[in-house]
Amino acid sequence: MTYILAIDQGTTSSRAILFDKDMRVKATAQEEFPQHFPQSGWVEHDPADIWNSVVATCKAVLDKAELSAADVVAIGITNQRETTVVWDKTTGKPVHNAIVWQDRRTSGFCQELRKEGFEATITHKTGLLADPYFSGTKLRHILQTVDGARERAEAGELLFGTVDSYLIWKLTGGANHVTDATNAARTMLYDIRKGQWSSTICARFGIPMAMLPKVKDCAADFGMTAPELFGKALPILGVAGDQQAATLGQACFRPGMLKSTYGTGCFALLNTGETLVESKNRLLGTIAYQFDGKPTYALEGSIFIAGAVVQWLRDGLHLIRDAAETQTLAESADFGHELYLVPAFTGLGAPYWDAEARGAIYGLTRNSGPAEFARAALESVGFQTRDLLEAMKSDWQSSGKDGVLRVDGGMSASDWTMQFLSDIIGAPVDRPKVLETTAMGVAWLAGMRAGVYPDQKGFAAEWALDRRFKPQMDEVTRERRYEGWQDAVARTLSKPDV
C-alpha cells in the first residue's frame, strides 16, 4: 500500500490527512488547541500544544485508516505562516510562547521602520511591508524581552523557525534545522530576489544569522523522522506555507491564475511567473513555490479575518452554536437592511495595512438581529476579497486573465457565501471537488518527490470542478453595495489618509 501523510498545522487546529496513490483522501484526523490572548491585539500559542497535536493527529489518522507507518511513503508539511518560534538548540525547549501571525504587538517598531525610511529596503528585498504580521519583528521582540535571549542567540544556543521549521526539527529529533523558500519568504528576513537571508535586514533587527534555518526548495529532502515517533523513520519530502500549498493544490501553475483560500483569514494569490511585481497598492510580492532553485513569484493579498468572524459570532457573541448556522441565518436576513461589518479585530490587512484599526459595525437599526449580523459577517469576506482583486488588477494587467477565481478552505463550502463572492466581484468563482487543497498541495509535493504522483502538467490535468458560481447581482446593486463597504472601511481606519 502507498500513502502520503500530509500534516496541516493551522492557526486553530492541527490536522493529518492520508492520501492514497490516486491522491484521494483516505482518512483525516483533527485536533484543536488553545489560543492565548495576553493583551488586546496579542495572540500566542504554546509550541508544546502545536507539537503534541501534530503527533496525536498523525497517530490518530493511521489508526483510523487501520494503517501503520510502513504504509506511508513520505510526509508533506504545510503550516500557518509567519508564526514565530524560538527554542533552545540543545534541549528543544521554547524560550517563549509562539507569537502568532495575527499578533500586532510590534506595530510600534514597524512604525519606527517606516519613519526612518527602512520599509523601502524591506519591500525591495522581501516583497513585504513593515508590518507586525511577519516573523522578523516578532523574533526581534522575543530577543529583546526574554531575559538572556539575545546573549544566548549570539552564543549560538537558540534557533528560530516558523512552524514548519520547528516541526521538522522536532520530527527529526533535532537533526535538521531547515525551512522551505515559501516560508522563508514570509519572515521579512529573506531576500527573495537573491534567494538568501538578508544580512542588511538582520543587522537592523539585531538578529544573529546563525539562528536562521537552511532554505530548501518546496520538494526536497527535509530529513527523516525519528523512528520511535511512528514506529518507522519516514522521509519529509514536501513543505510549503499554507497559502502557497493551496496555490499548488489548486494547480495554479500558469501566470495569471488566481486562487483565494478562506480559513481563519483569507489569502488571495496571483501567479506572476518569473516576474516579481512591485505593488503600487500595498500588496505583497512573495514566492508561490520553488523547484530546482528557481522561484515562481506571486502577488498576495492578505485578509486577517475571514472564518474567524464566524468563530466570533459563535464564541464571542454566542449567536450561533455551529458555523453552518450562518448560512441559514443569512438567507433569512432582511435584505433591505444593509449592515456592514468591518472585522478589523487585529487590524486591517491588504490593501490598507492598518495595524491600529479595530472592528466596527455600520448601519445598525432597532431591527438588527442575529440574521443580519450573520449576513454582514459572511458578506465581509466577499467585500474584502474584492478589495484585493481590485488592487491586483491595478498592479498587474494580466491579473485573473481568464476571469475566474478558484476558491478553497472551510468557508468555500458555503454556497451562500460563494454566490455573494461571485456577485460582488462580478466574476465566476470555481470550487474544486477536493476542498483539502492545502493538504493536497504538500501531499503532491511529497508524492511527486517520492515518484508516486505526476509532474505539474499531469497534476493540473487532474484538477476537477465541483461547482461554478456565476454573478447574479446587477451591476448597479453591486457597485452601490461595494461603495457602502468602502465608506464603512474609511470610517474604521485609524489612518484617515490611507
3-state secondary structure the chain: CCEEEEEEECCCEEEEEEECCCCCEEEEEEEECCCECCCCCCCEECHHHHHHHHHHHHHHHHHHCCCCHHHEEEEEEEECCCCEEEEECCCCCECCCEECCCCCCCHHHHHHHHHCCCHHHHHHHHCCCCCCCCHHHHHHHHHHHCCCHHHHHHCCCEEEEEHHHHHHHHHCCCCCCEEEHHHHCCCCCEECCCCEECHHHHHHHCCCHHHCCEEECCECCCCECCHHHHCCCCEEEEEEEHHHHHHHHCCCCCCCCEEEEECCCEEEEEEEECCCCCCCCCCEEEEEEEECCEEEEEEEEEECCCHHHHHHHHHHCCCCCCCCHHHHHHHHCCCCCCCEEECCECEECCCCCECCCCCEEECCCCCCCHHHHHHHHHHHHHHHHHHHHHHHHHHCCCCCCCCCEEEECHHHHCHHHHHHHHHHHCCCEEEECCCCHHHHHHHHHHHHHCCCCCCHHHHHHCCCEEEEECCCCCHHHHHHHHHHHHHHHHHHCCCCCC
- Tens digit of each residue's pLDDT (9 = 90 or more) over 208-224: 999 999 999 999 999 99
> Cβ contacts of residue 412 below 8 Å, gap of 6+?
262, 418, 431, 435
State percent of the chain over pLDDT 90: 70
Domain boundary pick from 190, 220, 241: 241
Query: What is the pLDDT at residue 425?
Result: 93
Band (pLDDT 50/70/90 cuts) for residue 401 is: very low
Identity of residue 115? K
260 with 197, same domain: the answer is: no
Only one residue has cell 495569471, namely 256
233 with 339, same domain: the answer is: no
Residue 446 covered by a domain: no
Query: What is the pLDDT at residue 485?
Result: 95
Grid cell listed for 437: 487543497
> Can you say how many angstroms the Cα of residue 42 is from the centroid of all Cα atoms in its chain?
18
| Average pLDDT, integer, range 96-118 | 94
Domain boundary pick from 241, 264, 282: 241
Asked whether the predicted pLDDT for residue 496 surpasses 80, the reply is: no
Closest CA to 277 of 300, 247, 254: 300
| CATH number where 88 lies | 3.30.420.40
Weakest-pLDDT range from 219-223, 423-427, 461-465: 461-465
303 within 8 A of 280, measured Cβ to Cβ: no
Band (pLDDT 50/70/90 cuts) for residue 334 is: confident
Asked whether the predicted pLDDT for residue 347 surpasses 60, the reply is: yes
Which pTM was predicted? Answer: 0.86
138 with 277, same domain: the answer is: no
Contacts by 296-299, CB closer than 8 A, 24 or more apart: 296/271, 297/127, 297/192, 297/272, 297/273, 298/244, 298/247, 298/269, 298/270, 298/271, 298/272, 299/269, 299/270, 299/272, 299/392, 299/395, 299/396, 299/399
202 with 317, same domain: the answer is: no
132 within 8 A of 42, measured Cβ to Cβ: no
State percent of the chain over pLDDT 70: 98
Q: Which domain holds residue 359?
A: 250-432+464-498
Residue 444 covered by a domain: no
Grid cell listed for 412: 468555500
Band (pLDDT 50/70/90 cuts) for residue 279 is: confident
Which pairing describes strands 266-273 and 429-432: parallel, antiparallel, or unpaired? unpaired
Residue 442 covered by a domain: no
Query: What is the pLDDT at residue 398?
Result: 53
CA distances in angstroms from 411 to 45, 431, 460, 473, listed in the order given: 23, 11, 23, 20
Partnered with residue 432 across adjacent β-strands are: 465
110 with 159, same domain: the answer is: yes
Residue 161 covered by a domain: yes
260 with 149, same domain: the answer is: no
230 with 262, same domain: the answer is: no
193 with 63, same domain: the answer is: yes
- Tens digit of each residue's pLDDT (9 = 90 or more) over 348-369: 878 887 878 898 999 888 888 8
283 within 8 A of 340, measured Cβ to Cβ: no
Closest CA to 309 of 14, 59, 102: 102
Band (pLDDT 50/70/90 cuts) for residue 444 is: very high
Query: What is the pLDDT at residue 400?
Result: 45
Exposure string over 330-356, b if 16+ CB within 10 A, otherwise e: beebeeebbbbbbbbbbbbbbbbbbbe
Query: What is the pLDDT at residue 490?
Result: 92
378 with 405, same domain: the answer is: yes
| Environment class of 183 (CB within 10 Å of its CB; exposed 0-12, middle 13-18, buried 19+) | buried
84 with 28, same domain: the answer is: yes
Grid cell listed for 4: 502520503
Residue 322 covered by a domain: yes
Residue 450 covered by a domain: no
Band (pLDDT 50/70/90 cuts) for residue 311 is: confident
Residue 402 covered by a domain: yes
- Tens digit of each residue's pLDDT (9 = 90 or more) over 40-84: 889 999 999 999 999 999 999 999 999 999 999 999 999 999 999
Query: What is the pLDDT at residue 189?
Result: 97
Asked whether the predicted pLDDT for residue 462 surpasses 60, the reply is: yes
Residue 374 covered by a domain: yes
Mean per-residue pLDDT over the chain, rounded: 91
Domain boundary pick from 241, 266, 291: 241
Asked whether the predicted pLDDT for residue 5 surpasses 60, the reply is: yes
- Tens digit of each residue's pLDDT (9 = 90 or more) over 125-184: 999 999 898 999 999 999 999 999 999 999 999 999 999 999 999 999 999 999 999 999
Asked whether the predicted pLDDT for residue 87 surpasses 90, the reply is: yes
493 within 8 A of 478, measured Cβ to Cβ: no
296 with 260, same domain: the answer is: yes
Asked whether the predicted pLDDT for residue 415 surpasses 70, the reply is: yes
Query: What is the pLDDT at residue 498?
Result: 44
33 with 182, same domain: the answer is: yes
**How many domains, the chain?**
2
Asked whether the predicted pLDDT for residue 200 surpasses 70, the reply is: yes
Query: What is the pLDDT at residue 495?
Result: 66
